Amino acid sequence: SQKIEQNSEALNIQEGKTATLTCNYTNYSPAYLQWYRQDPGRGPVFLLLIRENEKEKRKERLKVTFDTTLKQSLFHITASQPADSATYLCAPQGPRGNTPLVFGKGTRLSVIA
């Protein structure tokens, strides 16, 4: 069965450092991969989508990579700030847009000032 693993449940990092979150998937051949941010008591918010033929995608301080050989996506936040503290979810997606997203359990990031 399809499986999504996000590297750790919690990650603590000092302000100003780069946070790196990992998303691994098995028994999947996603054409896209999405990343979301979820704050406590709120719904997830879409951040980035990367295609299988894109090695890297950037948005402001965010960078996502997608390695279909390793079956892995890395999510980087550079110059992290306490406001970046949240849970980050990955969701591999098949080529058909109507297929519902299945999410990883998420990594809770805490940026310490």
Partner 1 sequence: SQTIHQWPATLVQPVGSPLSLECTVEGTSNPNLYWYRQAAGRGLQLLFYSVGIGQISSEVPQNLSASRPQDRQFILSSKKLLLSDSGFYLCAWRSPRQGLYGYTFGSGTRLTVV
Q: Which of 17, 42, 55, 59 binds partner 1 (CB under 8 A)?
A: 42
Asked if 27 touches partner 1 (CB under 8 A), the answer is: no
Asked if 102 touches partner 1 (CB under 8 A), the answer is: yes
Q: Do residues 61 and 48 lie in contact, with contact meaning Cβ atoms separated by under 8 Å?
A: no
- Quick one: 17 or 58, whose CB is closer to partner 1? 58
Residues touching partner 1: how many (CB under 8 A)?
22
> Strand order in 3-6's β-sheet?
3-6, 19-26, 72-77, 62-67, 56-59
Question: Minimum CB separation from partner 1 for residue 18, in Å?
Answer: 23
Question: Minimum CB separation from partner 1 for residue 101, in Å?
Answer: 6
Give the integer Cα–Cα distance in Å for 72 and 23.
6
